[in-house]
A and B are shown apart, each in its own frame.
Chain A
Amino acid sequence: MNAIWDGLDRVLDDAHDVAPVDAVAHGVHLLAARRWRAQGRPVPIEWLAGERAATVLALTFPVLLARIRAALDGPIILLKGPEVAAHYPDPALRAYGDLDILVPDAAAAQRQLVAAGFIELIDYEIAHQQHPLMWRGMQLLIEVHNFPSWLRWMTPPSNERLFEIAAPSATGVCGIDTLPRPEHALLMAAHSWRHTPLRRLIDLVDVAVMADGLSPDCLADLAAEWGLGPVWATTVQTIDALFIDPSRRSLPLRTWARHLPAVRDRTVVEKHVTYWIGGFWAPTPMAKMKATAALVGDDLSPLRGEPWRSKMTRIGRAARHAFDRATPRSRDD
């Protein structure tokens, strides 16, 4: 495990003058703050604010999970966020903005939580989850999943299978389950690639943390079983090249993923191009073609309910700012 943190420290050091906003875009600002303090460097105010926010979240999530547990019957699987943070040296080093839970009947659970006092925030529709919920005054959203957030061109593992293998959460909140670490590592990779391939540094740290100490062959076999073979191979190769052995510089890090070792946000054009090429990591040639066509079509189409005029305006703005920093929000953040 130490190799991951030493490797990330080396990436941060080698990047030279990491812009505060870029560290935030990569989700590593809390880890960078720790590194800057160890080196006697002043910590940017943006990161100080992030540290306070992370402390608030560390206090908040157990309380919210306990209220969710009290409101719902049946199993609850906690995904990502605080579950992954529980495997960090200090959970407050991992920022997150919501609690993702998977339940057998998401629509029914949503109604039960609203009846219990949670407030539903009406947002644009996302296939894999209900509208976000919040508890008045508490700084964390809750997302009840219909199924796990997954690559758009694939079907995720069945909920039945995930509930079969669920294990107690590492957060220690009573009655809350999670996925075993191998499956959770793959889920983190799939979720990251849903947005763009090799999206940001914290995604790779998460995968490395969850996969730490596990058999690489077993993880590769499970990835192949879930249709994630090529995605997993590229993810692991990138983690090795970034954090473990920089002499193993990978093709992605030398080309379309240079934003990772540079600890900078992708440009607008980089973001869209890497989104389109994500389909190349589908497991078969036919699947690659279908996935690429789906991703390009998805990116060029309006959001649900958005007029074409609005979409064309956004396309024009993206073209004019093609080489500017991409915004941190993805289409379904």
Chain B
Amino acid sequence: MSFRVPDHVHHRGVHGEVVILDTKTDRYLGLNSSGAVIWEALVNGGSPADAADRVAERFVVSKDVAQHDVDALVQDLVRLRLLEPAQM
């Protein structure tokens, strides 16, 4: 599955981190370096598995650990409506 950023969500990278602004709720969210790697993979059309590959490579962790973290973050981002499934 791939994801897209809804129109009401704005984001910007800053030295390995990401700041996200939800203009419907006026709330900000910051993603640390590992979160930023996941975010960049997903918003550029990658799947959660692709994101896990990048995390595993970048932070020298097992694929299972990376996938678990990616799935948890994706769940949160979708729940917060900061990501949504891309239209097929």
Q: Residues of A at under 8 Å CB distance from B?
A: 48, 51-52, 54-56, 58-60, 62-63, 92, 135-139
Chain A residues whose C-beta falls within 8 Å of the C-beta of B13 in the assembled complex: 55
The smallest C-beta distance from B27 to any residue of chain A, in angstroms, reads 7
The contact of B10 among A59, A136, A137, by CB within 8 Å, is: A59
Residues A56 and B10 in contact in the complex (CB < 8 Å), given A51-B15, A63-B21, A63-B23: no
Residues A59 and B19 in contact in the complex (CB < 8 Å), given A51-B14, A52-B14, A92-B14: yes
Residues A55 and B26 in contact in the complex (CB < 8 Å), given A63-B10, A92-B14: no
Digitize B2-36: 1 where CB-to-A-CB distance is under 8 Å, 0 elsewhere: 00000000111111010101010011101000000
The smallest C-beta distance from B13 to any residue of chain A, in angstroms, reads 8
* Number of inter-chain CB pairs below 8 Å: 35
Cα distance, A160 to B39, chains bound together (Å): 48
Chain B residues whose C-beta falls within 8 Å of the C-beta of A60 in the assembled complex: 21
CB pair B19–A138 under 8 Å, yes or no, is no
Contact residues on B (Cβ < 8 Å of other chain), bracket: 10 to 19
Task: List 18 interface pairs A-B (beta carbons < 8 Å), by A numbering.
Answer: A48-B15, A52-B14, A52-B19, A55-B12, A55-B14, A56-B19, A56-B28, A59-B10, A59-B11, A59-B19, A59-B21, A59-B28, A63-B10, A63-B23, A92-B14, A135-B26, A136-B26, A139-B28
Cα distance, A92 to B17, chains bound together (Å): 14
Q: Residues of B at under 8 Å CB distance from A?
A: 10-15, 17, 19, 21, 23, 26-28, 30
Besides the contacts A51-B15, A52-B14, A58-B12, what 6 more A-B pairs have beta carbons closer than 8 Å?
Answer: A55-B12, A56-B28, A63-B23, A136-B26, A137-B26, A138-B26
